[in-house]
Amino acid sequence: MSEKPTETRVVDLDLIAGTLRAALLAEPGLLRLEPTIRSTLTRLKVSSSKAFHQRLRPANADPTVASSDGLILTLTDGVLNMQIDIATDISHQALNVAEKLQVVAAKVTEQSGLTIGKIDLTILSIEGAAERTENPSPIP
């Protein structure tokens, strides 16, 4: 009976979250990843949990959850599930933007070597982009 040794791989979920955030924000039509109470509470829970488990887990143990405003990543047995909350620009079709962002999220996941789980994307706001004025004229 021969057993194949399992390949151990350290996954830096915070690095994947940063890469995903940058890739998503580069897409036209996305104004921002929208902070929610859920993402804020998850971020607080994760940071307190990491501090507590630093003494209990090995130094190279990968986190199972990464969270930032508008983005929650959960890793379970090599499967990455995502919750993405967004605000879109009214000049772009929100559904098209959401579909493109799901494709981008899937590509980032594949490039990280993980299996894609659920990609839940919620459009929380559709807004007009703020007009920029280069040099506003002074009031006389």
- Tens of pLDDT, residues 93-129: 999 999 999 999 999 999 999 999 999 999 999 998 6
Higher pLDDT, 69 or 1: 69
DSSP state for residue 104 in the 8-state scheme: H
- Residue 68: per-residue pLDDT: 84
- Tens of pLDDT, residues 39-62: 666 656 655 555 544 445 555 455
Instruction: State the amino acid at position 67 in one-letter form.
Output: S
Ranges of each domain in the chain:
13-54+62-127
pLDDT of 82 above 80: yes
Q: Are 116 and 109 in contact (CB under 8 A)?
A: yes
In degrees and rounded to multiples of 5, residue 58 shows phi and psi of: -65, 155
Q: 62 vs 32, 51, 134, 140, CA distance in Å?
A: 27, 13, 46, 60
Q: Which two tokens stand for residue 74?
A: 């959960």
- Residue 40: per-residue pLDDT: 61
- Mean pLDDT (whole number) for 58-68: 66
Which fold would CATH assign to domain 13-54+62-127?
Alpha-Beta Plaits (3.30.70)
